[in-house]
Amino acid sequence: MQILQLSTAAPKSRYSTDELMEVFPCQIPDGIKRNILNLGVSNRHLVKYADSPSKSETILSETGLVNLCLEACKHTVENAGLSIREIDYFIAAYDVNPFLCPGLSQLLIRKLGFNPYVNHVNVQGMGCTAFTKALELAQNYLAAHPRDFVLLCISGVNSYWFYNQVQGMKDIMEISKINSIKHKDRMQTELRKWIAAMEFFLFGDGAASIIVSNEGSGLSFDKIVEVTNFKKMDYLAGYTRLTALNEPFNFGFYSHLDREIPELGVKYISLVLRKLAGEHIEKIMKATRKLAIHTGSEKILNLIAEHYGIQPEKLEESHEVLKEYGNLAGASLPFILEKIVSRNKLAKGDVVLTLGYGWGFSASACSFEFKK
């Protein structure tokens, strides 16, 4: 299976971390500012979807999400020299959508110009491994329909979740002080605010689109390996969930990031690499021309690089995407891959390895070979 075309799109609204710290709803202690800067994110592009300061219920608009996905998909189809009616299967992968139902594919199909009878599927909740799962679904489809074209849309629009968490926040406490709180409920409340702040400054918005087929030249999809929930309770290391409020028509939102996520990310990457390469991990790492590693945070990128002795030049695109866009969830890998393909003179036989990890708790490894 070949990647024929890959395009990315980011919102026009670009904000620096310093700008966002200035407009944060409460004063940020120096210790938390250091936490924020240690994430490795300098700028982010965010969908602007709600301006109303009203305390009444606000229906979130899907327009920003839909327009961003449309931009990425249309560029991909046009640059591939195809028409939308030549696409036989459409896969939309995402986590966040103002509509819990219908899914993202239903919102995009007619706006893209598809026939209403087109085959399509939504992939939701895969988090940062959504890209490789979408590729796997495309590969399975092409095995049964070898002459078809598949269009993938990977949404990394996250601000719908993480912007509203901090609105109206009155204060925020440093981790060292939170750990000294003896009252369990108060400690959980303060920790929840700290996590909300980290998510606000880490996650950005972007969308990517890919066309794949069994014919063509370029990056050839080789092998994919996945692992999830290795220990039965690992899924609790990071998640978002709805909560019930004791009043009609209202639901709450709860998210969690465990302090062990960096080490867990390295562990899960080790598991998928062992499955992918067996005893030849070091050999594979040396032979790989470039690595696209999910932009969880600068700490995790550095831990993985140190663990496997990865040269900095092999990871420069991963660091650049984290710095400029933040954590794009499932869209981070195609953003990195697009930079790798567009700026490097890849030669026939060059190998590119993508590594994704995140909530689930999951990890995936996928190898590509350049055959142009």
Phi, psi for 362 (deg, rounded to 5): -135, 160
Confidence at residue 287, expressed as pLDDT on a 0 to 100 scale:
85
Q: 311-324, pLDDT tens digit by residue?
A: 999 999 999 999 99
Q: Where are the beta strands (DSSP E) in the chain?
A: 2-9, 14-16, 43-45, 89-94, 119-124, 150-155, 207-213, 219-228, 238-244, 251-257, 290-293, 351-358, 362-370
CATH number for the region 222-370 comes to 3.40.47.10
% of the chain beyond a pLDDT of 70: 98
pLDDT at 49 over 80: no
Question: Tokens in use for 305?
Answer: 């690089």
Domain segments of the chain as ranges: 2-161+201-216, 222-370
Q: Express each pLDDT in 68-104 by its tens digit.
A: 999 999 999 999 999 999 999 999 999 999 999 999 9
Question: CA angle 340-346-352, nearest 5°?
Answer: 55
CA 367 to CA 59: how far, in whole Å?
41
Average pLDDT of the residues of the chain: 92
User: How far apart are the C-alpha atoms of 188 and 86, rounded to whole Å?
Assistant: 52
**Do 348 and 286 form a contact (C-beta atoms < 8 A)?**
no
Q: Looking at 85-99, 198-212, 240-254, which range is the least confident one?
A: 240-254
Hey, what CATH class is 2-161+201-216 in?
A: alpha beta
With a cut of 90, say whether residue 3 has pLDDT above it.
Answer: yes
329-344 pLDDT, tens digit each: 999 999 999 999 988 7
Query: What does the pLDDT look like over 261-287, one tens digit per residue?
Result: 989 999 999 999 999 888 888 888 888
